Amino acid sequence: MRFSLILRLIALIVVVAGAVWLGQFAGEHEVLRELVAEFGYVGVFVIAVISGFNLAVPVPAAAFVPLMLAGGLSLPIVIAVIVFGVTLSDYLAYAVGKGGRHLVLTASEKALSHELVSLHRHHPRMVLFLLFLFAAVAPVPNEIAVIPLALVGYRFGEIVFPLLLGNAVFNVGFTIFLLELF
């Protein structure tokens, strides 16, 4: 288990460093800039959806921002497209959790779902605030939190705003970190 975690961390670092290097490399190579410009914001959206739903090696789509900027795309629009793409992947994970709800819940999970529902009844904003914090800070896909919430019966309308806001905070912060670092 520990070895697997170390390999994932190394893979994440390599991919992020590679994406940043690719962004710097693209600044000097017209063909790469043209490729980014050709796929444009649709390409950014596809990358965001895929990265938001990738549990194996969770690479934030914002890691590719230097490449996107080198291709001539606008930073505020890139970040907005990333946020909406990642939030769409959160919705897809929610739909998977909601659809599999009756198939997956074991006796212990039903007890846990009862506790989550109880927490939601007594402290409804706490679960949403914790979800916002998770989305804003955790460098892992939100599906880790979204699927269990769907399994216990939360409505997507309840969780979409904390997810959207958390995704915005994370991606803006990660992008600022990358641009300042390199």
Domain edges within the chain: 2-181
Q: For tokens 């641009």, name the residue.
A: 179
> Cβ distance 145 to 134 under 8 Å?
yes
Q: Inform me whether the pLDDT recorded for 182 exceeds 70.
A: no
pLDDT at 5: 61
> Cβ distance 41 to 78 under 8 Å?
yes
Q: Inform me whether the pLDDT recorded for 18 exceeds 60.
A: yes
pLDDT at 75: 95
* Cα 84 from Cα 102, distance rounded (Å): 29
Mean pLDDT of 65-93: 91
Q: What are the structure tokens assigned to 52, written together?
A: 């938001």
> Cβ distance 110 to 151 under 8 Å?
no
pLDDT at 104: 55
Note the pLDDT tens digit of each residue in 111-143. 656 676 777 778 778 888 989 999 999 877 888
Q: What are the structure tokens assigned to 144, written together?
A: 């880790």
Q: What is the chain's alpha carbon radius of gyration, rounded to the nearest angstrom? A: 18
Closest among 80, 75, 27 to 178, alpha carbons compared: 75
Mean pLDDT of 95-104: 72
Q: Inform me whether the pLDDT recorded for 4 exceeds 70.
A: no
pLDDT at 91: 93
> Cβ distance 151 to 94 under 8 Å?
no
Q: Inform me whether the pLDDT recorded for 35 exceeds 80.
A: no
pLDDT at 78: 95
- Please give the residue that has the higher pLDDT: either 113 or 159: 159
Mean pLDDT of 137-154: 83
pLDDT at 156: 92
Tell me the pTM.
Answer: 0.77
H-assigned helices in the chain: 2-26, 30-52, 65-70, 75-99, 101-104, 107-122, 124-137, 143-151, 156-181
> Cβ distance 85 to 49 under 8 Å?
yes
Task: Give 157's contacts (C-beta < 8 A, 6+ positions apart).
Answer: none
Helix (H, G, I), strand (E, B) or coil at 105: coil
Provide, rounded to the nearest whole percent, the portion of the chain with pLDDT above 70.
70
Closest among 163, 160, 147, 156 to 105, alpha carbons compared: 147
pLDDT at 131: 92
* Cα 175 from Cα 127, distance rounded (Å): 27
* Cα 182 from Cα 50, distance rounded (Å): 25
Q: Which of 35-44, 87-96, 136-145 has the highest mean predicted lDDT (pLDDT)?
A: 87-96
